[in-house]
Amino acid sequence: MAKKLVLAVFFGIYDGHGGSKAAEFVAENLHKNMFQKLENRLENIAKQDAIREAYLKTDKEFLKLGVSSGACRVTALVEGKELFISNVGDCRAVICRGGWAKALTKDHRATEVDERTRIEKNGGYVELHRGAWRVHGVLSVSRSIGDAHLNDWVLAEPDTRILALTPDMEYLVLASDGLWEEVGNLLIL
């Protein structure tokens, strides 16, 4: 029985910290891991789980390199009539529908109560340093790829949201905190 061919398109934004190595590695490998996981998944495994596995595999491969940098990311996978938005860290996706902008992702920052609680529950801490809440006084994001020295508390596990593509979707903006800290979600109209 032949497999049904479904067109898939992938977009990603990668924002490195502590150097560019993690962002470069993710740019070269995440999409390959994602398409491999999606292609080889069993029918009973959700696409959302395959995306999660691809993010975690990319992180594991990068950590093996022993490089100390990290990267946040936001990705969009369009497959058939579905849009899969995933993020780790403070890269964000915003969609414009019928003239209204709406954030599709939530930033993973040390200031978020649920992220801080998770970190503290696992034996880590969050403290105010240089005017920002940071994991172990170092990193303001609570999820990223890499950051081996914080790996017990800073996760590579993404949040993924699935949307059905509809005619009222005008555009999608994927960007790092460099944009969102300057313009906010609603000023992109």
**pLDDT of 167-187, one tens digit each?**
999 999 999 988 888 887 765
Q: Is the pLDDT of residue 188 over 70?
A: no
pLDDT digits (tens, 9 = 90+) for 69-112: 999 999 999 998 999 999 999 999 999 998 889 999 999 999 99
Instruction: Kindly provide the b/e burial profile for residues 149-180, where b requires at least 16 CB atoms within 10 angstroms of the residue's own CB.
Output: ebeebbbbebebeebeeeeeeeebbbbbbebb
pLDDT one-digit tens code per residue, 126-144: 999 988 899 999 999 999 9
pTM of the model: 0.89
Report angle CA 128, 111, 141 to the nearest 5 degrees: 90
Report the distance separating Cα 115 and Cα 44, nearest Å: 30
**Region at 77 (left for phi over 0; alpha for psi -120 to 50; beta for the rest):** beta
Sequential DSSP letters for 130-151:
TTEEEETTTBSBSB-EE-GGGT
Domain ranges of the chain: 8-105+144-178
Give the model confidence (pLDDT) of 6-53 as tens digits.
Answer: 578 999 999 999 999 999 999 999 999 999 998 887 666 788 999 999
CATH of 8-105+144-178, one of 3.20.20.70, 3.60.40.10, 3.40.50.300, 2.60.120.10: 3.60.40.10
For residue 152, give the DSSP letter: T
3-state secondary structure 82-125: EEEEEEECCCEEEEEECCEEEECCCCCECCCHHHHHHHHHCCCC
